[in-house]
Chains A and B, each alone.
Chain A
Amino acid sequence: MSDRTKTLILHAGLLVLLFVLQFLLPAYHHGNLARIMVLASYAIGFNILFGYTGLLSLGHALFFAAGMYGMGLAIRHLGLSPSAALLCGLAAGVAISTIAGLLALRTVGVGFMIVTLMFAQAGYLTLLYFGEYTRGDEGFVIQQAERILWGLDLSDPTNRYFAAFALFALCLLLTLWLVRAPFGKVLVAIRENEERARMLGYDVFAHKLGAVVLSGTLSAMAGAVYGLLFGYVGASFASVQYSIFPLLWVLLGGAGTVLGPFIGTLFMFYLIDLSSGVTTAYMLIAGVVLVALTLFAPQGLVGEIRKRFWRGLP
């Protein structure tokens, strides 16, 4: 069997499994998985920049929040329908990531990390400053009546699960396509050796900018869908914590792998969920597991599988 066939079977298999689980899972895990799929979509967006292009952003919460607030504010203040509001969230993601990319990509390495971190902090503080409109830290609820997309009530668990599934499937297939597309291959070349990619005639800046915009837009889309599915928009989603989360998920799952972001998000979510059932010091358990993983699986869970068993895993 060729790598290509195996890859298709694996990824299609995961999507089928997630689809079927909808009918099998008890209510609690059902809700969790919907949340995980949306967060994993966020991680997939982050992974495009970090895992495939080799650019470490510490400010992705800016894009997540851009999508969430672009969507939320459009419903709250403009009274738009959910579908139009989602487009607003997407547009906010494209705009903010383009601006952030144009500015932040003038720096490299640690400079890039600091600049993106600062941008995200500026975004967070802006949300607080305009508390009159954004309701700041407190956030605001999107009422059930405002969450009916194409006749589907997104506060209903089944609909919510399918919406999350649709988003996740879209992001997953997009990454699969990307790693085969010329654009994605050039991104990997830039990650491996930027100077060489330039000397082979590639416009490195344009490709990096494309990666920032694609990554930021996917993150924004995840943010917008998250707000719509769970009915809440708040500034905590713009805080530095939400910039670090996708980094953790991607590192745990395996940077530069298609499935890594999902596996990492799933793992981390349940690690905290299960350990907090055992003790109030659950962060200690989570911390020890993370240290162990970093020591023994530095490439992340999927990264280790690729390293040890299946070299061709995308």
Chain B
Amino acid sequence: MLDVSRIDVAYGPAQILRDLSFSVRAGEILCLLGRNGAGKTTTMKAIMGLLPLLSGDIRLDGRSIGALPAHHVPRAGIGYIPQGRRLFTELSVAQNLEIGLMARGSGPEVLEDVLTLFPRLRERLQQRAETLSGGEQQMLATARALCLQPKVLLLDEPTEGLQPSMIEAIREVITVMRDRGVAILLVEQRVDAVLSVADRVCFIENGQNLETLDAATLRQDHAILERHLGV
């Protein structure tokens, strides 16, 4: 579904990603795991076209999206939920979702579906986004991305700083999306959160690939984790 092949990415003179490759298949959750500064968020920004590729390519369903201007990438079918949520804080929940719906001309049935996934948002449609709790804001950010009916979903630390019940709710939605065939790329710091939800795990270090493993293997053999992350 989403193929990242041998990309190099830099902020000015500082090269962050070196020859990085991985692919996310439809209906699976791939988790990027690595220490702080390994290049996880940079990878997501590169996929979204926010950072230019020095070399390599990114393909969605075989079609190259590596050179597309940033606003074309979401329309191609990639939803991105960045760290820190980034809502339209002054607008209501309904208005936030509407902006998402308009982006690809999604109909009311999409809104209905999204509100079924996040029933809490339905109760708060008229509330201003900034008055929501942290977990609800994360739900709204996720819901808004789903309004674009993405084929691929990028989530950057979706459960950071949330209470357990919220984490559970968001994880459930991620799983539902996977079961519907969406390819999900997840960045997560907490190893236990990763292992409970991921299908495969891709380790990165200094912007380079290490190995990509089945999560099941990792669950059995914690030694691998310790080797790569030093935890």
Contacts and interface: CB of A to CB of B under 8 A. Distances in A.
Interface of A: 182, 185-186, 188-189, 192-193, 195-204
A196 B86 contact: yes
B100 A195 contact: no
B148 interface: yes
Contacts of A189: 88, 91, 99
Interface stretch (B55-63, B69-77, B157-165): B69-77
A193 B75 CA distance: 18
Contacts of B102: 182, 185-186
Contact of A199 (B48, B95, B98, B104): B48
Nearest to B73: A201
B36 interface: no
| Interface size grouping (class) on chain B | 20 to 34
Interface string B79-103: 0101000111111000100111011
A200 B103 contact: yes
A192 B80 contact: no
A204 B71 contact: yes
Is chain A's binding surface mostly helix, strand, loop or mixed? helix
Contact of A202 (B71, B80, B95, B144): B71
Contact of B88 (A196, A201, A203, A204): A196
A188 B88 contact: yes
11 contacts: A188-B88, A188-B91, A189-B99, A193-B87, A198-B70, A199-B74, A200-B74, A200-B100, A200-B145, A201-B73, A201-B104
A257 to B, nearest CB: 13
B157 to A, nearest CB: 16
A147 to B, nearest CB: 44
B185 to A, nearest CB: 15
Given A189-B88, A196-B88, A199-B74, 16 more contacts: A186-B102, A188-B88, A189-B91, A192-B89, A192-B91, A193-B86, A193-B89, A199-B48, A199-B80, A200-B74, A200-B99, A200-B148, A201-B72, A201-B74, A202-B103, A203-B71
Nearest to A197: B99
A118 to B, nearest CB: 28
B87 A196 contact: yes
Nearest to B95: A185
A203 B48 CA distance: 14
Contacts of B82: 199
Interface of B: 48, 69-75, 80, 82, 86-91, 95, 98-100, 102-104, 144-145, 148
B144 A200 contact: yes
A201 B99 CA distance: 10
Nearest to A196: B86
Given A185-B102, A193-B86, A201 B75 contact: yes
Contacts of B145: 200
Nearest to B99: A189
A192 B90 contact: yes
Given A185-B95, A185-B99, A200-B144, A193 B71 contact: no
Nearest to A201: B74
Contacts of B71: 198, 201-204
Contacts of A204: 71
A268 B75 CA distance: 46
B178 to A, nearest CB: 21
B86 A195 contact: yes
A193 B104 contact: no
A180 to B, nearest CB: 11
A198 B90 CA distance: 18
A256 to B, nearest CB: 9
Counting chain A CB atoms within 10 Å of each CB, which of B89, B102, B148 scores highest? B102
A275 B82 CA distance: 53
Counting chain B CB atoms within 10 Å of each CB, which of A195, A199, A203 scores highest? A199
Contacts of B80: 199
A174 B89 CA distance: 26
B24 to A, nearest CB: 18
